[in-house]
Amino acid sequence: MSADKLLPMLQTALEPGSTATVSELHLAAYRFMLRARLLDDKFAALYRAGKIHGGVFLGRGQEALSAAIGLSLKKTDVFAPLIRDGAGRLAFGEPILDAVRTYLGSSLGPMRGRDGNVHRGRPQEGLLPMISHLGAMISVVNGILIARRFKKISGTVGAVCLGDGATSTGAFHEAINQAAVEKLPLVVVVADNQYAYSTPTSRQFACEDLADKAIGYGVTAHSIDATDLTACLKIVREAVAQARAGHGPQLVVAKLLRLCGHGEHDDANYIVPELKNSPLGRDCLKVAEENLLLQNWTDAAQLAVWRSNIIHEIEEAVAQVQREPAPDPFTEEWRAIASEHLSEMHHE
């Protein structure tokens, strides 16, 4: 069965509340992680070959956390991913073509070739296009959740991804506070990846653990070792379930190390060897793979088939997009993502 058909089936089977087994859940998450990693590798190669203009931002080391978020949400939820959430986007249902078309500037992409990297989305499907201003997306999701409350649409969860740097902004403070007061079904997932660009966490916050901030806001906190896929799946799913059950906002603080530069223009020479050699520096993809083999949930031959199928799919997507037209400045309507269709959008 082709990956195109298999993935939507897996996604449906794995929606929270389904009877998917633990092994199925891990295998599905691993496959989204692998897709994201291989797609990132391709973008890095295209960037070095001068085929991508603008920045390339990768999620290496963050795939377990990100896949867990995408897999924990229902299709009717709202998801605001950040620059390192390729795995979560795929798990939430974003096609590979959306990412390839955006990075390569195709006029057929979700941003119609107007954005060169990661601000794409599918708002009609609950996948929000991010803006770069750190912390700003929480308020956007709050607004959607409040609007749905007014419209008596229940059962929706909103999930927002952030980095540790974003937690120092006023936008973060205002939005978490509002969500707590309004008891919104919000899950804020902070990837505490030890650096905000080159700023280490010791220069970012003075509390011992970012999860401690939750106490002051009156929200529930969860901590995860994000190099461990099992922990990510367990805790993120629990946080989403708590939010959906009406227990108010959940702050998930996931510890990991960014295994790449801030973007591909950054060689990350500021990351200290002690961190690279610490348990935080483990590659979640390798750890997940070792665990799948150890548990006998799959074997090396199957892993090799998945890898080669994904590479084939990515190569085909890139070849297709390279034949697609760039936006035409003479006929371009000079809008980014807004459309008449979007402004007329409403939820039942």
193 binds ligand TPP (CB under 6 A): yes
Closest CB 163 distance from ligand TPP, rounded Å: 2
Q: Which of 196, 219, 243, 252 binds ligand TPP (CB under 6 A)?
A: 196
Closest CB 321 distance from ligand TPP, rounded Å: 26
**How far, in Å, are 55, 95, 117, 174 from residue 319 at the CA level?**
21, 15, 18, 44
133 binds ligand TPP (CB under 6 A): yes
Sequence-ordered alpha helix ranges (H) in the chain: 3-13, 22-48, 63-72, 86-92, 96-103, 136-150, 170-182, 213-217, 229-244, 273-276, 284-294, 300-322, 340-343
By the 10 Å C-beta count (0-12 exposed, 13-18 middle, 19+ buried), 312 is classed as exposed
169 binds ligand TPP (CB under 6 A): yes
64 binds ligand TPP (CB under 6 A): no
Q: Which of 98, 164, 228, 264 binds ligand TPP (CB under 6 A)?
A: 164
Q: Which of 81, 126, 163, 327 binds ligand TPP (CB under 6 A)?
A: 163
Specify whether the CB–CB gap between 119 and 110 falls below 8 A.
no
- Sheet of 250-255, strands arranged across: 78-80, 158-163, 186-192, 250-255, 220-225
Sign of CA dihedral 37, 39, 40, 46: positive
Question: Among 15-23, 187-195, 292-300, 334-342, which window interacts with ligand TPP (CB under 6 A)?
Answer: 187-195
Which is closer to ligand TPP, CB of 175 or CB of 314? 175
Helix (H, G, I), strand (E, B) or coil at 303: helix
Total number of residues that touch ligand TPP (CB under 6 A): 16
Question: Among 105-113, 158-166, 290-298, 333-341, which window interacts with ligand TPP (CB under 6 A)?
Answer: 158-166
Which is closer to ligand TPP, CB of 124 or CB of 270? 270
Closest CB 265 distance from ligand TPP, rounded Å: 12
Counting every residue, how long is the chain?
Answer: 348
Which is closer to ligand TPP, CB of 63 or CB of 313? 63
Residue 273 neighbours by CB distance under 10 Å = 8
132 binds ligand TPP (CB under 6 A): yes
- What's the rounded Cα separation, in Å, for the pair 107 and 332? 9
165 binds ligand TPP (CB under 6 A): yes
Residue 336 neighbours by CB distance under 10 Å = 13
Closest CB 210 distance from ligand TPP, rounded Å: 10
- What's the rounded Cα separation, in Å, for the pair 49 and 131? 27
Sign of CA dihedral 301, 303, 308, 309: positive
Residue nearest to ligand TPP (CB): 163
By rule CB under 6 A, what string of x and - marks binding of each residue 212-251 to ligand TPP?
Answer: ----------------------------------------
Which is closer to ligand TPP, CB of 133 or CB of 265? 133
Closest CB 290 distance from ligand TPP, rounded Å: 25
Q: CA geometry: angle at 157 spanning 188 and 25, to 5°?
A: 85
84 binds ligand TPP (CB under 6 A): yes
Specify whether the CB–CB gap between 197 and 266 falls below 8 A.
yes
Give me the phi and psi of 225, to 5 degrees please.
Answer: -85, 105
262 binds ligand TPP (CB under 6 A): yes
Question: Among 140-148, 165-173, 247-255, 279-287, which window interacts with ligand TPP (CB under 6 A)?
Answer: 165-173
By rule CB under 6 A, what string of x and - marks binding of each residue 3-42 to ligand TPP?
Answer: ----------------------------------------
For ligand TPP, the binding residues (CB under 6 A) are: 84, 132-134, 163-166, 169, 191, 193, 195-197, 258, 262
